[in-house]
Amino acid sequence: MRFRDLKIRTQVILLCMVFIFPAAMLMCWWIMRDYERALVSEIKKRHLEEAANVLHTVGMTMHECVDDVRAFTEIPVFSEKSSPQEMTRILKKLERSYHLDSVSYFGMDRVRIADSSKAGQSMTRTKTIWGRVAAR
């Protein structure tokens, strides 16, 4: 049986199956791939911008903290031999003016000498950034 001998309806169905459906599937795959690439690049761009903003915020916060520590070191009460009560008074004033939760002053042996809050004074142990624990 030849193609010309088939009914017109059967010929149309066969032509659709052989040419039109594969072409449509290929076109759909191509469009889907383009949308996927655009979506992935948009997500990457958004996350890179967000990461850059977070890094900038962290950098600014660290810079402000370093500036605060430098300002604290220039206060004469900490460079001279002062009483812990006088240091505590100054730390409370710094806590209010810099809007901090708590400020502590430690000696070179990592023992707390003065603290601006009652919570910090009642602590018996202090954990440092590096994970060492020093008893008070």
- C-alpha angle 111-117-122 in degrees, rounded to nearest 5: 55
Write out pLDDT tens, residues 67-116: 878 887 788 877 667 788 888 888 888 888 877 778 888 878 888 888 88
Q: What is the DSSP letter of 100?
A: -
Half-sphere exposure of 24 (CA within 13 A, CB side): 7
pTM: 0.48
Q: Among 84, 65, 85, which residue's Cα sits nearest to residue 73?
A: 65
Task: Report the pLDDT value the prediction gives residue 130, as an integer from 0 to 100.
Answer: 39
The alpha carbon dihedral of 71, 68, 131, 135 has a sign of positive
More reliable by pLDDT, 48 or 109: 48
